[in-house]
Structure 1
Amino acid sequence: MARRGGRATSRFSQRTCPGKVAESAVWLSLWLLLAPSAAEAGLYTASDQILLLSPGNVEAALINSTAAMVVEFYASWCGHCIAFSPVYKSLARDIKEWKPAVNLAAIDCAAEDNRKVCTNYRIRGYPTIKFFHAYSKADSAGLAFKDFSRDVRSLRHKIIDKLESHVEAWPPACPPLEPTSQAEIDIFFETNNVQHLALIFEDAKSYIGREVTLDLLQFENVAVRRVLNTEAGLVTKLGVTEFPSCYLYYPGGNFTRLPVNIEARTFYSYALQRLPGVVRSGRPPSFTTFFHINTTEEPWRPFNKSRVYMSDLESTLHYSLRVELAAQPVFKGEALRSLKKYISVLAKYFPGRPVVMNLLKSVNSWLQNETSGQISYEAFKDILENSAQIPNAALPEGVRWVGCQGSQPHFRRYPCGVWTLFHVLTVQANSTGGSDPLEVLSAMRNYVQNFFGCRPCAEHFENMAMESLMEVNSLSSAVLWLWSRHNRVNNRLAGALSEDPKFPKIQWPSPEMCSACHTVKENGEHRWNREQVLPFLLSYFSSSSILTDYLESESQILEKQKKKHVGQQLALLAQKPVERRIREALDSSKPPPSPQPTVQEEEEEEEEEEEGPQDEAVADEEEEDGGEAKPEPTPWSKAEVEAGRGWRLVHRKPSIVGMRMREQQEDIVDLDSFVNQHYRAKALRLAASSRVKQRSLQRQQEQEQEPRSAFELGMELDGGLGMVGLQPLEADPELDVGRQRKRLQKRELSGRFLDGELNHRGRWMSVLSIGFSKLDISLCVILYFLSSMCLLAMYLFFKNRLRLRRAKVALP
């Protein structure tokens, strides 16, 4: 019903109600001095299980609600309100299971927005508690608790009295609280479909029966009825001699007494909630074969509920250090300080195996020596993975939950592991004689605040820490503080969707685990025996009590780490050839540095470039003496590579130009290699041009000595322009046969060179590039641009004239 009421609240739109501004200067100063934090969030937060009222939701919560409402009207500056707030919070935790019938709320009347609401409900002093029945009318001002005690028990009894004062139709969400009779019990199973019926025998002034009835309100397959000691028929039939006492009644008249350590409300409620088949409303029923069924992604691991497992602790470290911390790529500021404190506490108090402790100490030493203002997670991960290969140091990878495993993959696990880890650390700090009682708790607080993935959980924990963490003044009180806050969280999460139905949230330790930890006050209220709780915690979380079942051996952990490092190194080595090929490809696209050849080498190179082309596999070589050209393969020699010519060719092999041995399947042009070849050919033509000039001067001198002849058309390639030119013929054809043969060979080689260049680069590119200088191309572009501008101007001029002529014709 509380959940239905919450949904109903969301249907109302938020409204802002302006409050009165008038306030005395004294009250204002007290408000500023005494409660600066209350101005931010009041005395209560959402983690206190108290509904915070405001002008936007007060009507939905108090008017026509299916649940009765208990509301505290307070002022955050009021000293009595501040002193009463812990009692009200304890009341909310105590009657949490009553929420379908009763809900607790609070409103800060010191807040300016809430002032009008408090005035409408006739609030004159603080704190004021009012009770609103279910289905209250809009004009209802509520029933005030007069002279209420600052005690949870008395407040609980007053709430029951107000519930029973309901005069209209009984709210369906509230169970029957009146005493039952033998006649009703005889036909109970005929009209109710439940598995267990609990009869609590008590006197008329006792509230235990009604309290237990409300405690079991959210559970199915069980019903609770109150039987007075004056109901002689049932008392005689069951042979009841003690009041209070609880009996389980079954169809056919069978009954048995409920076994509990102490005849009190808390023990009755706990025992009844653990009966077979009793589950929270909406939860699936429990099966006795659960522990033999694999209901998770991993095989179920049987475990002892009364022991701690090292596998849970190491799994928590793995997830914390490798998964949760990885969410922050860089640690700096408060996050870096929190990380250092967290690792320091682990290295100091974690009761791990030698390989794990060696690694934690290595990581802690590295962190403490880091003086920079920030640390990347990648650097932290290198140390965590032991990249430096420190001997006998490793943290197991993966999770293997045992005591923290849940019935489904989304239940328990890591949150359970975090609580267990910090319980162990607080106990270890107490056992080893730590100097600072807040060392472990502050590290946990900072870690949760900065790194814990569940942000609402982190906010709730921070609220608890702000409330009472500074009260811890000893190592033993630190152990008890963490235990009490863990129980508070269990109380808040009991019945939530995150609760594992197979492992319900209870006040731990249970009476079965530590019966001496539970006791009652003189008035019958439950009380924790802290003198027995502390020894139990010190024994339960002791390093000597931790079980090492389901763990991998240290040799297996080190072997896995070694294989991982070897695999990473092989992967890096495999990447190096790829990187080298990429680097060579990039270098090949750049013009190589030209070496400074000697004069003789330059002349030889120019001679070869003029006379014929060079190929990577085959090159033709001239024979001056024999007068015959013998083509034979001339691979690059070591001397040529050292001289520079071979170096250029070798480093051009990855490019398309260098791959001449492969057959060209498609007519595809590589623009980068094409540009490189274009400029290289241009350089060769310039060099050949200079050589031709020298040869022309030499021929001119020879012709002056010999008789001159007529000119005929020569087909030699002009090295400077690449065009066909006229060359002189010899006067006597038989004068020098060897020279003529040599000239013919030159012509053939020149034509072959030209054909090779045209075929490789594309004939159309050769036609465009041969015979035109840069000046010619520039003049063409300029003339084309000027002609375009002239045509455009003429077009605009005649278009304008035509428009003016048409306009004149249209005039009358």
Structure 2
Amino acid sequence: MMRLLLLLVVLTELGQGSVAQRISTERVDLYQGDRHLVHLDNTTFFGALLDKPHAWAVEFYKDWCGHCQKFAPIWSEVARQTKDWGAVVKVAAINCARRRNNAICRRYGIHGVPAVRLFGPGASRGDPGTSTIHHHPGQMVDAIVEFVTTVHGRRRPAGWPDLSPFTGSLQQLLRGPEPVQALVLESESPTAERPALVVFRAGRQQTVTAGRGEEPRQVFGRALRQLVGAGGQQGAVPTAAPATPPPPQVTPAPTRAPTGSVFMVDMENAIVGALKQEVTSHQNITGERMTALRGFLRMLVNYFPGRQQMLQSLSQLLQFVDNREKVTGGELERFMRSKTPSWAGLPELQPYQACRGSKPSYRGYSCGLWTLFHTVTVQARRTEKRLGRAVTVLPAIHGYVKNFFSCSHCSQHFQRMAAQDGLFDVTNAYDAVFWLWRAHNKVNKRLANDITEDPLHPKIQFPDQNLCPSCIVNGRHDPQAVLQFLDAFYGAEAIRPDGLASWPVPAVGQSIPQQSPAPSACRRAGLYRYYSSRRRVDGSSDPSDPPAPEQQQRQQQAQQWHQAWHHGHQMGSARRGSSRPLVRVNWREAALQRRKVADWQLIVCVVTTGLVIMVSGLTMFLGAWFILGKEDPFILIGPVVCGCGLMVLLMSVETCVRRHKVVQLADELSSG
């Protein structure tokens, strides 16, 4: 049986394509210049969404997310197909990567992107919307149509056309005042013919059908636009005048980033993006997510070879969350915005160096995150060699990617790769360096020739022949050569400070902050390299270019301050005019020497205790023997005490053997 359906929106709002300009004229990010789509931000979101007679379909995205970049053409096509439906539904997008929009995305629980929420007419602030997403424009449009049909079925909003099935007669339809009447003939049977459009205009009837492979909605919409707009007939809805295109902007040709080095600014940007945008986008952080946050911060404090102010801030953040079972993203955001004297703060995002893409949507944050992960695995391996015990950072990396990395598609890929390749079977930093290197190359292979690939920085197997000639043997990577390359490439001494925005350096007359930013991590990283005589404080790497006088004075002050900080000297003596020079101390040798002395003191103490106990037991035995007699049971206490002393002596011997090995290792490290 055939039923008559009124075509819902093609007739209702022809020519409403310029509606986006009434909300916001700002065209930015992935949808810059898309006139069919409304781009919202923190200043326009609630004004556009709340208490409106029409529905909204809003995409939440982050411009650096590769999956969002793939989804952008789909959402643009959805906006194009629905551009004339403004009386019923409008299509919009908001960029959650912009910090000013972070609170809105957190309010709506956007943890993974891209995400699509459908909001009905008259939406309120407490309305979370309906989540849905499809990766085909037709399916996404169908989901929007189903949503507005459901809303219409509950209660027809004011100003909406009647979308219910037409049950009257053909004569009743033709008696209407409209100059053009249209019917969609659709069968309830799935085996019936495809839908047909019947248009009645000026006493004439025209039937339109969609061919094989054509979308009926698009075919019907195109036919109606032609019929209604032809010849300027009365009743045709005027279309908006095309907007005058803005004058073309002259942009410089993209250049290739210097990928032959690791830059501190790229890793600092990744940390700032992770903490200020990714972590704070969560409404509540508790349970597994809190454990992942602590692990991520602890990994950075222990193994990130960063500037001391950055390590101080990371240490304070770790203290802030360490004793809490729950923290909100808003609390973290307020803490990082605080202006207290003890809070060193986090730097603002700065221009990328090696991770700079040929376009803003390429590389950037994800590249900086990979660089950060490689660097901490190398630093963990060096720590492992120095301490002589196994350490690994892969669980902390996995915890961050699983719980906070908002590109949901990328996070799921990493978790599957971790399960398949045995991430949690890696128990030492040596294997962790290899695991992460193989995982990164696996991702590069999967994304090669992808639409998200930067044409100036193709996804290749790293390192290539140009970067490390000895790493490629017979067309394959040599593991030992690769390990040596990774250790040298991501080592703390090889990281370049170019492009870093300097933190305020205290003058000679100012006091040094009281809170030490994880001093052991600072000493391990050798942070004085940033202020050594081979580099200027402003980050320039050209030693032949002499600094300006004021820059030279600032450099000398920074050198004095950081030498005093890292080598235990107080700046007070320097401010009082003391002539005592600052002496550079080998911290590793001094620490190992102190540890050897402490070990021997402990061994002597344990051996002395065992001997005292044995002598006491023997004295008790002999005293009981001669005074009470050999038949008295009290005589047995002496041998028991003597046996305890013997056990303590045996344990001390075992401790001596183990400590001797530690001392040998300390001597080797100190001499090396």
Q: Normalising by structure 2, what TM-score? A: 0.36
Q: Normalising by structure 1, what TM-score? A: 0.30
Larger radius of gyration: 1
Considering Cα pairs closer than 8 Å and 6+ residues apart, tell me whether 1 or 2 has the greater RCO: 2
